[in-house]
Structure 1
Amino acid sequence: MKKEMSFWLAIIPLLVMITVMAITIVVLEQGPHIPLIIGTVTAALVAWFSGFKWKDIEEAMYKGIRLALPAVVIIMLVGLTIGAWIGGGVVATMIYYGLKMITPSLFLLSIAVICAVVSLAIGSSWSTMGTIGVAGMGIGISMGIPAPMIAGAIISGAYFGDKMSPLSDTTNLASGLTNTDLFVHIRHMLYTTIPGFVIALAVYAYLGRNFGKSGVNTEDIEKTIGVLQDSFVVSPFLLIVPLLVIVLVARKVPAIPALIVGIILGFGAQVFIQHDSFADAVSALQSGYVIETGNTMVDDLFSRGGLDSMMYTVSMTIVAMTFGGILEHTGMLQAIVNQILKVTKTAKGLVASTVVSCFATNASCSEQYISVVVPSRMYANAYKEKGLHSKNLSRALEDGGTLTSVFIPWNTCGVFILGTLGVHAFEYAPYAVLNFIVPIISIIYAFTGFTITKLTETEMKAMEQEDATLSS
């Protein structure tokens, strides 16, 4: 018989992992894989000494990995997409017309809005960042804008759409797990997300003023445009490729087949429009596209993509989920939250605790979905006992879970962004304004009581009857 996990035992793996992670990343300047493996070993030992059999611990790891398999498939497909679209001239065409049309002073604001619209339409921040985001990085860097700023604007826009779209996985997950009507959930999120996005756009407009025409070397932009024309066949017809992918996903075609269509079209474009060989096109899919123009910026930007480039991200995801799987399925996370609930005495404190717990789950379990799933199960009864409407919980899950995942370098979202946009979480964090301002707004609302909705007597009675029916 397994004994219940104690709080002090449950936090040992987290403390070990966080300590080793800090030393490895900050002092040794190495990746997060080994610290997570050490955290996983520590969690397994704690579980074993607490009465769990090795078979149960191993199954907990596999459960964590299975949860991440859809993300792993998407990560690999995005690597193929980047290779195919760069090789096919799709990215070059997007950058070419972007440099022609968008002024540097408005770029950060524009790319945030564009990513928000696309992500709102397709319901996926990852697909948006892996397509529109990659081109946006190229355009912004060509204009002399620092990469962390560009990445921050892209992330803010992509996650606005992901959070507010009825097509989004996390949006449906948060509403479904809390038994909240989807559109009631979305409307309740407007109170925190719209002010957050307005603040983000104001920040990007302010930052963009430094990149007006007077501060940008237009010669460099023209030189980049010339290199693109010399290196690729640039055609507006190539814009059909990303537009078609966006339309497919907007029409509720799942992300995987939609991305596969984009990969096939990019591959065809490289062979039949760019006139590369089949071998070169296959190489772009496997190991990424390679170009040598003599222009360092263009060479660095376009020599990337491919399946191989995503193996760091894939291995990172698998390692992270073994750690998260043990923490969740051996009751360590439950023990930690139970301790939090002992301290949280008021309804206001409960909402704030949910936001903070979601962030902590992102840091400890390394997966955005777990940061929504686990706290939703742990806090559901507490919200009922405090007489709070379920939409308060569903909003807190997204404010604290969906958005903050990007700030953890070893979280699947942080690793994906590094592999896709090429910017580390610690670098873009100050510029991903939406992602940190919305949780702050949510906590302020919690303590002021603004927009915190309580259950009516009728709703309370209906809920009690439902609970009685289920128990019988």
Structure 2
Amino acid sequence: MKKEISAFWALLTFAIMIITMLITVVVLEQSPHVPLIVGTTVAAIVAKIHGYKWSEIEEMMYKGIRLALPAVVIIILVGLTIGAWIGGGVVATMIFYGLKLISPAWFLVTIMLLCSIVSLAIGSSWSTMATIGVAGMGIGLSMGIPAAMIAGAVISGSYFGDKMSPLSDTTNLAAGLTGTNLFDHIKHMLYTTIPALVIALVAFGIMGRKFADISMQSEEILTTLKVMEESFVISPWLLLVPVGVIVLVARKVPAIPALIIGIVSGFLLQIFVQGGTATSAVHALQAGFEISTGNHMVDDLFNRGGLDSMMNTVSMTIVAMTFGGVLEYSGMLKALMNLVLKFAKSTGSLVASTIAACITTNATCSEQYISIVVPSRMFAGVYQQRGLHSKNLSRALEDGGTLTSVFFPWNTCGVFILGTLGVGAMEYAPYAIINFVVPIISIIYAYIGFAIVKLTPEEIEAAEQRKKEQEFNDADNMVMVD
């Protein structure tokens, strides 16, 4: 007989996983795969102790993995895209003109704004990081700017646009699950997101001053530009490929076919423009592009990409979601959420608890979407009972769920960023400014009562009527089943 799993067992499972994670990642400097397997094992044992059959526990794991399958497909396509675009000279062209046009002092500000605009237009942080972000990493590294700073600027911009775009899946998800009008939801997020954007711009502007003395005519940069011209055909026409992909996604073409068009374009460019063979073009898709120029900067920038480079990311995603699946479907995550609700007495503590629940879900379930879905189920009734408009909840879900997913190396977003930008969560975390400033602003607003919208008496009455109708329909359905 199944017994409800208490918060104690859920906390114990979570604590064992986190301790194992810290020892493995921080002390032993190894990947998070094994700690997540340990966490999954402990979660399975706890579920078994509480009466779940092994077949049911297996199904929980499979359900978790199924939730991540769309992300796995995108991750694979991104690996192919990077390989194809490097081989086709697209990335080289973006880096070449970037080095010529962007000042080192304003590079961090520029790349963050560029990623913000692109992500706002296409509604996808992942697609932005995989295209503009990859090129930005190459340009910034060529200028001598630390990788962690560049990644932080790319991530900040990409997630600003993703969070605020009406085309974003997380934006639509948060609005839909809470029953909030999409554009009311976006307008309400302006209160927390715009101040964070300003703070990030100022911070990156100050950081960029360190690099103002870097001469774009320095011998190393001039040598890099020369080697790139000798190794690739550089042409502004090649920029039509990334622009085309961005336009396709902006016109609501799904990400997968848009990326496939980009991959095919890069593949053909490698053969017909760069003069490569079909064998080398296929190799770039599978194992990544390979080049040996004798210039360490060029070799480091362009020896990457391909399907194989993403296999660590794919395996991490699968392992993480087995852990998240057991936590979610055994009820352990619900037990944690109920524990959080006990401390949510005021509006400030309610919003803070919502954001904390989103962060906890990102840490335990390793998936950004679950960090929106599960807390929305847990808190919707509480917000309504306290007379708070649903857009307060939808904003809190995005402030705490969408943005904080990048801070956990085992979360699908953290894993994707490592595979795409080549920088780990522990390194870029201090520079992902928008991602950690927004939740702080959101909590401050809640405690001081700023930008918190109450339900009108008419809205409360309408909500109660909908609840009564739902209860009546549920009772009617039960009678029909009987």
| Shorter-chain TM-score tier | over 0.9
User: Which deviates further from its counterpart, 4-13 or 91-100?
Assistant: 4-13
Paired residues of 2:80 and 2:306 also in contact (CA < 8 A):
yes
* Correspondence for 1:200: 200
Q: Does 1:352 align with 2:349?
A: no
Alignment of 1:36-435 (within 5 A): 36-214=36-214, 218-435=218-435
SS for the counterpart of 1:67 is: helix
Paired residues of 1:152 and 1:431 also in contact (CA < 8 A):
yes
After TM superposition, where is structure 1 displaced by more than 6 Å over at least 4 residues in a row? none
How far 1:220 sits from its partner (Å)? 1.5
CA distance in 2, matches of 1:74, 1:285: 14
Residues 392-429 of structure 1: per-residue CA shift (max 9 Å, x gap): 11000000010011110111101100000000111111
Paired residues of 2:383 and 2:389 also in contact (CA < 8 A):
yes
Residues 46-82 of structure 1: per-residue CA shift (max 9 Å, x gap): 0010111111111111111000000000000000000
How far 1:26 sits from its partner (Å)? 1.0
Residues 88-132 of structure 1: per-residue CA shift (max 9 Å, x gap): 000000000101111101100000000000000000000000011
- Provide structure 2 residue ranges, at least 5 long, that are not aligned to the other structure: 473-482
Residues 314-362 of structure 1: per-residue CA shift (max 9 Å, x gap): 0000000000001011110111111111122122210111111111111
How far 1:222 sits from its partner (Å)? 1.1
SS for the counterpart of 2:130 is: helix
The residue type equivalent to 2:132 in the other structure is I
CA distance in 2, matches of 1:330, 1:383: 25
How far 1:216 sits from its partner (Å)? 6.6
CA distance in 1, matches of 2:368, 2:214: 42
Residues 356-390 of structure 1: per-residue CA shift (max 9 Å, x gap): 11111111111111111111111111111111111
CA distance in 2, matches of 1:432, 1:302: 25
CA distance in 1, matches of 2:398, 2:212: 36
Paired residues of 2:100 and 2:216 also in contact (CA < 8 A):
no
Paired residues of 2:104 and 2:214 also in contact (CA < 8 A):
no
The residue type equivalent to 1:363 in the other structure is A
Paired residues of 2:143 and 2:214 also in contact (CA < 8 A):
no
How far 1:217 sits from its partner (Å)? 6.8
SS for the counterpart of 1:368 is: coil
SS for the counterpart of 1:384 is: helix
The residue type equivalent to 2:412 in the other structure is T
How far 1:37 sits from its partner (Å)? 0.2
- Over 3 Å counting, the alpha-carbon distance change for 1:217 and 1:405 in structure 2 is farther
SS for the counterpart of 1:325 is: helix
How far 1:215 sits from its partner (Å)? 6.5
CA distance in 1, matches of 2:77, 2:367: 19
Give the number of equivalent residue pairs: 472
How far 1:218 sits from its partner (Å)? 2.0
* Correspondence for 2:18: 18
Paired residues of 2:175 and 2:181 also in contact (CA < 8 A):
yes
CA distance in 2, matches of 1:383, 1:55: 37
SS for the counterpart of 2:30 is: coil
CA distance in 1, matches of 2:326, 2:199: 39
The residue type equivalent to 2:257 in the other structure is P
* Correspondence for 2:436: 436
Paired residues of 1:404 and 1:436 also in contact (CA < 8 A):
yes
How far 1:213 sits from its partner (Å)? 3.5
CA distance in 1, matches of 2:184, 2:214: 47
Q: Does 1:470 align with 2:473?
A: no
SS for the counterpart of 2:369 is: helix
The residue type equivalent to 2:345 in the other structure is K
CA distance in 2, matches of 1:79, 1:340: 39
Query: Normalising to structure 1: TM-score of the pair?
Result: 0.99
SS for the counterpart of 2:375 is: helix
CA distance in 2, matches of 1:272, 1:13: 55
- Provide structure 1 residue ranges, at least 5 long, that are not aligned to the other structure: none
Paired residues of 1:88 and 1:269 also in contact (CA < 8 A):
yes
Paired residues of 2:109 and 2:153 also in contact (CA < 8 A):
yes
* Correspondence for 2:4: 4
SS for the counterpart of 2:398 is: helix
* Correspondence for 2:480: none
CA distance in 1, matches of 2:219, 2:406: 35
SS for the counterpart of 1:245 is: helix
SS for the counterpart of 1:301 is: helix
The residue type equivalent to 1:432 in the other structure is A
The residue type equivalent to 1:190 in the other structure is L
How far 1:214 sits from its partner (Å)? 4.9
The residue type equivalent to 2:312 in the other structure is Y
Paired residues of 2:180 and 2:390 also in contact (CA < 8 A):
yes
The residue type equivalent to 2:394 in the other structure is S
The residue type equivalent to 1:116 in the other structure is S
Paired residues of 2:112 and 2:154 also in contact (CA < 8 A):
yes
Paired residues of 1:144 and 1:216 also in contact (CA < 8 A):
no
CA distance in 1, matches of 2:377, 2:215: 52
CA distance in 2, matches of 1:186, 1:137: 30
Paired residues of 1:290 and 1:303 also in contact (CA < 8 A):
yes
